[in-house]
Chains A and B, each alone.
Chain A
């Protein structure tokens, strides 16, 4: 190894010497006040041209004081910007790139996060079908799919006691079972692995899709019901794996009122949305759905919320014949029964199954979950590689 001696990326600079502002800097420099004026003007211009996007991002924050103050700041800026047409260049640029505010973008890739929804409002603004005080999110789905369940999730059949879904017809390599693995960022960390493992069976043709930071509480950020209808229509999968929840422990709007997470109104609305998603998938009577519960989480408060969500998922799944709820908490319990990144595998070795954030799954964790889900799928449909048509 030797000293770096070549000129650096952008400056024939101080290699070897003291990196200090020097005579060259003095010659090229300008007064701090002028820098401030140029920088401030640049920021103001950028804000004016980008006000719609800033307001959209503000409105998509979780309901609460931070969102309210952000919206209060950006709403008048956006109004002023739009009034004089300063929002148009950004709009034209977005359109030139194939992005529009009504495009449920981000479906193409993991981090292409252009979002859907009206920029001036974070309210899901549902076209409600009031059912016993429950307001359903607008989905754009057909009438049959939009039909609202009225079953209280707290009184629904317990998981495991529901009738076993009828096995689907045995798939073959020429006529594989079409599988869709869909959800939020959790799916990012096991979806591709599951597709890969499914491919290895030779009788499953799997696809995966995820949207970071999404869920069922904020259709203004990402409208999953609409997207799920599109996927069902386009791909007509035989089996679907859904996983949501990590971003859902936040307030949502019911009847124009913000409902606190896990209040009665919140639970009623969220349960209805979960049930609605299940119904949208299982409108085809030959399609089966696996709903994946949230694994045990490191943060105790967050984990408690996920437990409550899991109860909702289990209850809604239990009320439907072709939906199977899969609990994942036991799979990822540490040696002491609580959360751990390192879980003992069958060989007695410690496996690193979680990412450092204490939420998402590592590659190994993704493999474990994928295998569990394929096993459950195998209980619902004949996945024997030797199956012939």
Chain B
């Protein structure tokens, strides 16, 4: 079920009413919310509902035994701490196995078979060709955070139904944000007051997200990005550069648009999710970028990968190794292609270089080469273009296609007419919007909150129609659904 559809509007209207009527009665509310999430997820493919439910069961059982530490069989003979680690390891392995089977095995099998074939060794590894379940990367990461946090003693075991509601909660199920159990469990236990629903903020987020997805993202995709990436050689270098900038805007509008809608929908149900974006193209370093882009993934990678690997506590070489490893795996999280690995590699290398320069500057007491204002502008330009360079690999379907795209930047002829004034205005306007004062949304929200319910409804209705008019017919899936 896609957010920007009438079907979802009808579905959510029912869920909203049921939610607030039954919320005071958890024994009724929890199964109903779980059922709603199953309907939402099953709308794509009912078969994968079983995978989701299996993930719920496996992780709850593992979390249960990890919490207990000792049981009568298996690790019963081990000490409490050892048993807990054993169960956590088992849970992580189970989740990685699920991810591996559906997402990574074919990539590995094909690459390995081709490598062997190039050495004259035949006997290809079998490929599975499973359809990738929507949202699998998101909910398996949430599940892993649950059992790791239990193993670390950071959270308590959740009741089975609570855990099922948490892992399958439909607003964040298919494309995040990656909400941790520590953030969700207290909210599941609480009974929010139905007299205080933060509606102005929620409606604002939902409408903003719809506008970003349906209008901005779709417009740039159809007007320049898809065409130029499909055949860069038929376009001038300036068009190719504009298409790369436009893709930077498109993927931000698409992903942050989904997040806005997810957070808004959750707010209407009485839940507050962590934020996922903070004007990422304002970043003046790549480290700064990762504080602002897909924030729930970056903190997951930090807490469950970078820190356990040793973080920056085991010397300079280990720190750089850890940075590279985290970013390479972060790239692989998006998909099993070499392009995603390169995308992560670019980020890892530049993060390491940034750190190297910073440490050198701190060690030598070197003062900045450029005055503060100019220096920040240069750093912003460099950061933004590194991010854009990496996006070329992220968007291209193959390594050769990415190289063709980069080569076409030097194309001085064949202007194909895609750099229309509107495309230029939308691309650079959206980038400029990242530098707007951060209180614009609060001002709009407060203005909306001051309206009567009928006026609020009129604003919502007219906004929905305006978005529908400005956007294309039909809704393309969100980019991050494929991850």
Contact = CB atoms under 8 A, between A and B. Distances in A.
Interface of A: 1-15, 18-22, 25-26, 28-46, 49-50, 53-54, 57, 89-90, 93-94, 97, 106, 109-115, 192-193, 195-196, 199, 212-213, 298, 335, 340-342, 348-350, 352, 356, 358, 362-364
Nearest to B21: A32
Contacts of A5: 291
Interface stretch (B28-36, B53-61, B226-234): B226-234
A106 B218 CA distance: 13
B377 interface: no
Given A44-B461, A342-B110, A349-B114, A113 B326 contact: no
B82 interface: no
A9 B472 contact: no
B129 A29 contact: no
B415 interface: no
A7 B278 contact: yes
Given A20-B186, A32-B197, A4 B398 contact: no
A46 to B, nearest CB: 4
Interface residues of B, number: 104
Given A1-B287, A37-B453, A45 B473 contact: no
Contact of A109 (B200, B201, B222, B401): B222
Interface stretch (B67-75, B161-169, B298-306): B298-306
Contact of A14 (B205, B256, B274): B274
Contact of A31 (B194, B201, B233, B272): B194
B16 A41 contact: no
Interface of B: 6, 9, 13, 16-17, 20, 106, 110, 113-114, 117-118, 122, 124, 127, 129, 131-132, 182-183, 186-187, 190, 192-205, 208, 218, 221-223, 226-227, 230-231, 233-234, 256, 260, 267-268, 270-279, 287, 290-292, 295, 298-299, 301-302, 306, 323, 326, 351, 397-398, 401, 438, 441-442, 445, 449, 453-454, 456-466, 468-470, 472-474, 476, 482
Task: Sort A-B residue pairs by CB-CB distance and give the 4 closest, nearest first.
Answer: A41-B457, A42-B460, A8-B275, A45-B461
Contact of B301 (A1, A29, A57, A341): A1
B268 A341 contact: no
Contacts of B401: 363
A19 to B, nearest CB: 4
B222 A1 contact: no
Nearest to B288: A6
Contacts of B131: 356, 358
B183 to A, nearest CB: 5
Contacts of B198: 21, 25, 28-29
Nearest to A37: B453
Nearest to A3: B299
Contacts of B110: 342, 350, 352
B222 A110 contact: yes
A49 B461 contact: yes
Nearest to B302: A1
A111 B195 contact: no
Of B132, B194, B287, B482, the most chain A CB neighbours within 10 A belong to B194
Contact of A38 (B221, B273, B453): B453
A2 B291 contact: yes
A45 B464 CA distance: 9
Contact of B292 (A6, A19, A111, A340): A6
B458 A42 contact: yes
Nearest to A114: B473
Contacts of B441: 9-11
10 contacts: A9-B277, A10-B275, A15-B274, A30-B197, A31-B197, A38-B457, A41-B457, A44-B461, A53-B468, A113-B472
A127 B218 CA distance: 36
Given A35-B268, A199-B233, A356-B132, A1 B306 contact: yes
Contact of B461 (A19, A41, A112, A349): A41
Given A42-B460, A349-B114, A50 B465 contact: yes
B460 A193 contact: no
A237 B396 CA distance: 31
B476 A111 contact: yes
B179 to A, nearest CB: 8
B301 A10 contact: no
B195 A49 contact: no
Contacts of A35: 16, 197, 199, 202, 268
A220 to B, nearest CB: 14
A232 to B, nearest CB: 22
Given A109-B223, A111-B221, A1 B298 contact: yes
Given A37-B453, A54-B6, A11 B468 contact: no
Contact of A46 (B129, B192, B227, B461): B461
B307 to A, nearest CB: 9
Contact of A13 (B195, B275, B449): B275
Given A6-B291, A8-B278, A18-B183, A362 B194 contact: no
Contacts of A212: 474
Contact of B278 (A6, A213, A298): A6
Contacts of B114: 349-350
Given A10-B208, A19-B274, A28-B198, A43 B453 contact: no
B107 to A, nearest CB: 9
A9 B275 contact: yes
A40 to B, nearest CB: 7
Contacts of A97: 469-470
A74 to B, nearest CB: 10
A21 B127 CA distance: 47
Given A9-B260, A39-B13, A45-B461, A4 B291 contact: yes
B306 to A, nearest CB: 5
Contacts of B256: 9
B127 A40 contact: no
Contacts of B200: 28, 30
A350 B301 contact: no
Given A3-B299, A341-B129, A42 B457 contact: yes
A85 B461 CA distance: 16
B275 A38 contact: no
Contacts of B275: 4, 8-11, 13-15
Contact of B227 (A1, A7, A36, A110): A110
A25 B196 contact: yes
B200 to A, nearest CB: 6
B196 A46 contact: no
Contact of A3 (B302, B438, B476): B302
Of B20, B129, B132, B326, the most chain A CB neighbours within 10 A belong to B129
B474 A21 contact: no
A3 B292 CA distance: 10
Nearest to A35: B199
B117 A348 contact: yes
A201 to B, nearest CB: 13
A19 B183 contact: yes
A125 to B, nearest CB: 21
A21 B278 CA distance: 20
Contacts of A115: 473
A2 B464 CA distance: 38
B227 A10 contact: no
